[in-house]
Structure 1
Amino acid sequence: MASPFFFVAKKEAGALRPCQDYRDLNNGTIKNRYPLPLVTDLVDKLKTAKVFTKLDLRNGYNNIRIKDGDQWKAAFKAPRGLFEPTVMFFGLTNSPATFQAFMNDILKDFIDEGWCVVYMDDILIFSDKINIHRLRTRQVLERLQENDLYLKPEKCEFEVKKTLFLGMIITPGHISMDETKLAGIKDWEAPKTVKGVRSFLGFANFYCKFIGKYAELARPLHELTKKNTKFEWTKPRDIAFNVLKAKFLQRPILQMPDDEKPFVIEADASKWATGAVLKQQGSNGELHPCGYISHAFTATERNYEIYDHELLAITNALKAWEHYLLGGAHLKLNRRQARLSLYLTQFDLRLVHVPGTKMVQSDALSRRPDLINEEDNDNEDIVMLPDKLFVNVIDTELKTMLEEALPSNEFLQMTIESLIEKGTPPIKSSLQDWRTEGNLLFYKDRIYVPNDPTLRRLIVKTIHEALPHGHPGQWNTVDQVQRDYWWPGMTKFIKSFVDGCAACQQMKVNTHPTRTPIQPIGGHKDALPFQIISMDLITDLPKIADCDSILVVVDHAATKGVIFILCHKKIDATDTAELLFQHVYKCFGLPEKIISDRDPRFAAEVFKEMGKLLGIKQMLSTTYHPQTDGETERVNQEVEIFLQFFCTKEQTKWKDLLHFAEFAHNSRTHSVTKNSPFYLTMGYHPRPLPTVFEKTTVPSVEKRVAELKKLREETSALLDIAARRVKERSGRSLDKFEKGQKVWLEGKNLSLGYPSPKLSPKREGPFEITEVLGPVTYKLKLPFQWRIHPVFHAGLLSPYKETDVHGPNFLEPPLDIIEGQEEYEVEAIIGHRPKRKNQPPKEYLVSWKGYDSSHNQWMKPAGLKHSMELYLDYKIAHNLR
């Protein structure tokens, strides 16, 4: 390994700096992340200084030796052969960080005392009194001498009141631009390429805080740097270029901020950005600028009200200059601005309205043309996060509702009085399981929810319908809710809520048909997670990025956990084995046994040979009877149901929701093991949703390991019991219905235009029974568009339930008045016909907001003119003409 060698000219006449091209070496070097100091932080420390001494080290990086044995890595090529440097050279990626750490360590006590700043090989000593300054200078020089560091006398300045430091002229109380750099501005020719424009703007941006209305002046030049803009040097651009040059040549000056004096912030907001000026009173009694900032709104922020825009302008200014302003009394704002006001409360400030005409500088900064998007409505539907990431979060608003509901609860008041020893305990049972925290009451570390049906319904609804849970059944919903909440009779309340959930009734598998007895596989006492696995494929899903299937892997013997893997329908044995390595092996090691149905993907000779080499024993099911692997079949149904809940109307989103389905399964308590797969694997429940209610108890490692071992032994015994019960299970009789009753109709024999049958609802409705034709035969009131015989066997029907606890499922909102006509609001487009390649659909199946699926209707494109965005999104998602 050897690097090229060359020279570059130094500032000194005739001096050369040796350089090596270490790019290849740098690419393979682990980066040193030691931070370099910010120039603004260093300059801020000089605010009270009146005298300065600047020192410049000789030989810079060469003062640090390369570790013995590593010199060969930095070898370079020269005409006389290869050379290995013994000291650190310029060009090595870690040279700046290493040298800065070296200098900070040597002078750390002086830096901490606040009268010395160091940036690489530049040292600046500053004081407000000459006698103290001389003592400090001597201390620094002695420290450098102790470490064999030398200075360049020609670059050092002692006891001056004006010095050039880090590209700026420093004088007592003021900073200005480097006159040497400004000298080149005068002769700077107009750029002839976009690269030349960027070079000029790069210089200008470094000093833009010195220039008023910089954004307005630079707008024509910024337009040239936009993507796909043709380079044309027009007259407005030439004028902007020359005006900026003239502004720089005027040598503007900023006043250094003084912590002992009050500050004035002029802040303003336009439709596109905020701007602000930090000012302070000078010796002449007038306000002088200390700095300028501007900030472009994000697409989401542009949707805020004007009051929020103005608040953002203030907040952005305070964030930029918080090191000057932080501290003091709290300013209380309303709940709408809670997030921003939380930050504002750290400052001692008074808000004063000043018209924009009297704040010219900040007003101009808030209207910087380079921050303006020409389209006014490009963000009408922009939100902070994509829809797929939104869940109904139990947040501070729910906490507020709990706190407001609790004081009116008599039981709570008696309990609190007993706990804080203000009265005689009226509760017969022991209160050792109760505690208070703020305005909340906890029972066994769970929040007590007062007798408010609306509040209790909100809590259950939030958890039951959230993506990480995915509409679990009655007992799993009870388990999820009672992990954080408690109230008397909560089990009955939650079961009634789930019983009345129309989505659960419509989507979940109906188990009332008689089933053929199966031969389940029992537990294994010493099995570890994913040591014995079962596998299957869910196929024929809407194709997204070459994926149209899910490989389902189930931990058969230990935890009942699952891993869902994206794949395509035509994967072969080698592909399947590779997916196992990527998703199972990396977390749990190699499985000892695989249970699968007899399928080419699992029984192929390649896969068998791979299993033999890895010591895997494959147990194939009986021919044509895949229910031998009943556990995986059940999980297949579960993941299909989950995806039906959340993407029936937008089926192309199934891929994005798959990880939520996996989390939902693994966090649910299994009916056999009595614990969730997460808990059996890790010993705790991962948090599915954000919460403001913290839990602080953390078990020891030893205790957790012992608990896991005991849980897995108990799980094995429970699996054996469950296996025996499955053999004894028999089918139940068919339901009986009455005229006028609403029922669900099984959708397996219906062709309703959904893109994928796997992600379509399990049943449609609810429909009213108009006539009982026989003991097991019923006539239904079907939509007129269906054009099918309305008489069905009871085996295809199931009862629709609506409970008081859950409340109504379909609100059927009033019609919208659009262009003088009554119209329903389209919720989603869920299908189209005909489905022929290279032929546009003639009709689209739409669902109406607030109405059940029995109201779904086929519409022609002309009927969707008021839902054009949904219409276009659907065509794009399904690649339609």
Structure 2
Amino acid sequence: MTSIYKKGKSHTNADGLSRWPLDNVRINPDHEPEVSAKIPIHFMEVDSKRNFRFSGWAPESGTLDSGNTDSAGTETPILGISSSELHNELFGAILKSYAKHRQCGILLQLLQQKYRSPELECQLEEPWFRAHKDKKFFLIDGLLYHRGKHTSALMVVEGDHISLILQECHACPYMGHMCEDRTKERVARTAGWPKWEQELSDHLHTCESCQKANRKYGKKYGLLQHIEEPKHPWETINMDWVTGIVPGGKENYISCLIIVNRFSKSMNCLPCHKEETTIDNAPLFWNNIISSCGVPKIIISDRDPKFTSEFWTDLYDMLGTKFAFSTAYHPQTDGLDERMIQTMEDILRRFSAYGMEYKDHEGYTHDCVTLLPSVQLAYNTSQNSTTGKTPALVEKGWNPMLPVDHLKKNILTIHPTAKGFHDLWKRACDTAAKCIAEAKDYNKQRWDKTHMEPDFKEGDQVLVSALNVCKV
């Protein structure tokens, strides 16, 4: 096979980059210039007025021109690139700001002189002196630029100009309110000033749009604040209401008051009505708790109107009780009640999963309200994970008898003496207190791993999430 070169009419000496015919007769004597119009290639140049404009390249002359014409005298630009000129007012304002800034004025004098001036250099302060010594500054049309590793940035020193640069590089729609790293890269290519990185970080951390729109990642605010744990049973109690249960009982109760002994972890379930006033709830608390367990020192509950009313406040002031109201959506204070409520609901759900009422083998029915005493007994005779003992044993020193205990009636039981019983009960209380302290430290350690202490200062303006405001 024989390859034969056949000369064409055009592109006999094409440039590999642009693929345009070149009028280089010396390199290619056989090149025949085309009669068709020369089409300009546009590129960017810097003119003497410190502005950027697009000019055309005339292939036949090899000179810069603002355009090109064909044989008929008409312009034939094809790329259609256009750019708005930068405002001379901005550059003029930056030049005027140099005159007001002492360090910039000294730098301008040093850069405009042909010879070094040690006297002027000694007047420069850091970081200006170090940058000038490393030859980082240079002038273009009277404007001061700082030479970086891969790019150069215009120096600005006035606060209004700095704010304009930060606004243009971060808050404009075409900048998108990007993160600190991306905004920092944009600012580094645009302008610079002393300590600009710190000022940029402060600007981004105080950007109102970013604070309102961005999600918060990382650790949540608020380390775990311990509640003073009691030393004796019924010294501190938790109280909360469960609403929305299936109506039951003779009075068609639809709510339940949960009272928890924080020392022994025992639970009391008292049925009530949701719409009951404080006058109705006070005797309920008095007849079932105070009459049998005494007056608690601290009552922990949510900010319910039942507790904040004048009647409850006056009642517990006379009894010497100190209220310790918890904050809404602060589960560290009401977490004990929440776990009790969840356990109670789980037990009730198992007995009422197949209907509104539970029927035994004899047809006897139980609704949710009539099952509350059995739920209370079941929980108080079950071992607690914190104390390692049953709430009834820690509180009373003995467990109530259950039907299953009658199976052990033939087993010999050694009854302790009075002193031995007291020692056994005291040992159980000491063990429970030790377990509570260990559980408290363990819970704090786990909580603090995912939370941090807020760094707010007095007088700071803090944005508050409105997610749970309507639920408070």
* TM-score range for the pair, normalised by the shorter chain length: 0.3 to 0.5
Which TM-score applies when normalising by structure 1? 0.23
Which TM-score applies when normalising by structure 2? 0.43
Greater RCO, CA 8 A, separation 6+: 2
Which of these two proteins has the greater Rg computed from alpha carbons?
A: 2
